[in-house]
């Protein structure tokens, strides 16, 4: 089932269909009507089978989204419109020896390929993907980290007298936090290869949505877009992972039984449950976590 209700700024809940077609009960809408329509369209995902995005998410979260009507805060889904806009800007531009916006179905999942072909150089076997993300996630994906670089001067007074002065400088090449992106693109790679399209390289073009903010600068993010290279993951491991996730979700849906809580990683160690999960109010774990946070 798709999201069915919008959460209004006044705390009320209204069916999305009524919000879009019967007007707003408030003095004025929280967002332009076309924006609210675009958000609603981004929430409609009645596709056959499971998508890669669903299978790399928490099983309980996906189960609740597929079986329960749930409310969403449109303000928290503006990022989805940004992502859709990025795809729309590129629509129709994948010409010649390229593929663009193609959905491919496999045995256990489907995936929509953003780009494939000669998208960076003459090599026609490059898989590309667009991401609109935060400076924090981009910093992690690039493996950026700070190091202390000596200035050549020393402190002349105070508790650090005689010690070398240093300044913080950003470096790349640290541990890259790209597992979810890597699983997603490698699943797309397997789908393409199954259809006879070889993949030699996988690259994400990541747009930073808060690039102009001071926080982005302090994280070493100075450009509006970066390339993030994705390495190949073992097909054997990937097939086992996807098959296990799809079987758990399929079994839960067939038995109409709530799966165990999402893993700590999928919950972002609780942060997603408290701030970003649309179905946290329907999840016993999410409800308990929220109550504990309020009483703390």
Helix (H, G, I), strand (E, B) or coil at 261: coil
- pLDDT tens track for 218-237: 888 989 999 999 999 999 99
**How many C-beta neighbours within 10 Å does residue 258 have?**
16
Whether the predicted pLDDT of 1 surpasses 60? no
Structural domain includes residue 100: yes
Q: Within a domain: residue 123?
A: yes
Residue 84 lies in a domain: yes
CATH classification at residue 207? 3.90.320
90 assigned to some structural domain: yes
Mean per-residue pLDDT over the chain, rounded: 88
Per-residue model confidence (pLDDT) at position 91: 63
CA distances from 131 to 20, 156, 191, 257 (A): 28, 48, 20, 33
Task: Evaluate whether residue 118 is within a structural domain.
Answer: yes
Residue 212: pLDDT band with limits 50, 70, 90: confident
Q: How far apart are CA 3 and CA 97, in angstroms?
A: 38
Q: The domain containing residue 278 runs over which residues?
A: 45-289
**Does residue 114 fall inside a structural domain?**
yes
Structure tokens at 154: 């020393």
For 46-84, write each residue's pLDDT tens digit: 656 889 989 999 999 999 999 999 999 988 888 777 766
The answer to the question of residue 13 being in a domain is no
The answer to pTM > 0.95 is: no
Give the Å distances, CA to CA, from 277 to 70, 267, 286: 11, 9, 9
Calculate what percentage of the chain has a pLDDT beyond 70: 93
Give the number of domains in the chain: 1
Task: Please indicate, yes or no, if residue 233 is contained in any of the structural domains.
Answer: yes
Q: Phi and psi (nearest 5°) for 88? A: -65, -40
Q: What are phi and psi of 287, to 5 degrees?
A: -65, -45
Collapsing DSSP states into helix, strand and coil, what is residue 279? coil
**Predicted pLDDT of residue 213:** 86
Q: What are phi and psi of 90, to 5 degrees?
A: -95, -5
CA distances for 200 relative to 128, 142, 143, 228, 287, angstroms: 11, 20, 22, 15, 45
Q: Which long-range contacts (CB under 8 A, 24 or more apart) does 247-256 make?
A: 248/59, 249/50, 249/54, 249/55, 249/59, 249/62, 249/63, 250/50, 252/59, 252/63, 253/63, 253/66, 253/67, 256/67
Phi, psi of 43 (to 5 degrees): -90, -15
């Amino acid at each position: 089932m798709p999201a069915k209700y919008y959460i209004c700024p006044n705390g009320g809940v209204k069916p999305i269909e009524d919000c879009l077609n019967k007007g707003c009960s408030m003095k004025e809408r929280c967002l332009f009507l076309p924006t609210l329509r675009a958000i609603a369209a981004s929430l409609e995902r009645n596709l056959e089978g499971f998508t890669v995005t669903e299978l790399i998410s928490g099983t309980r979260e996906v189960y609740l989204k597929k079986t329960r009507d749930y409310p969403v805060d449109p303000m928290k889904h503006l990022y989805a419109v940004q992502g859709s806009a990025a795809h729309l800007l590129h629509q129709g531009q994948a010409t010649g020896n390229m593929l663009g916006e193609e959905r491919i179905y496999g045995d256990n999942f489907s995936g929509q390929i953003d780009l494939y072909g000669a998208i960076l150089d003459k090599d026609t076997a490059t898989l590309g993907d667009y991401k609109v993300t935060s400076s924090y996630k981009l910093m992690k994906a690039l493996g950026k980290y700070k190091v202390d670089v000596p200035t050549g001067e020393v402190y002349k007074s105070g508790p650090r007298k005689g010690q070398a002065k240093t300044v913080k400088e950003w470096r790349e090449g640290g541990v890259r936090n790209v597992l979810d992106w890597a699983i997603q693109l490698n699943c797309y790679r397997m789908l393409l290869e199954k259809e006879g399209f070889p993949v030699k390289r996988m690259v994400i073009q990541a747009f930073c949505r808060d690039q102009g903010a001071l926080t982005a600068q302090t994280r070493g993010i100075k450009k509006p877009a970066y390339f993030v290279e994705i390495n190949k993951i073992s097909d054997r491991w990937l097939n086992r992972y996807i098959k296990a996730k799809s079987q758990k979700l399929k079994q839960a849906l067939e038995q109409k039984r709530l799966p165990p809580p999402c893993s700590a990683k999928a919950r972002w160690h609780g942060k997603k449950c408290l701030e970003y999960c649309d179905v946290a109010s329907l999840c016993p774990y999410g409800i308990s976590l929220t109550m504990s946070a309020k009483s703390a």
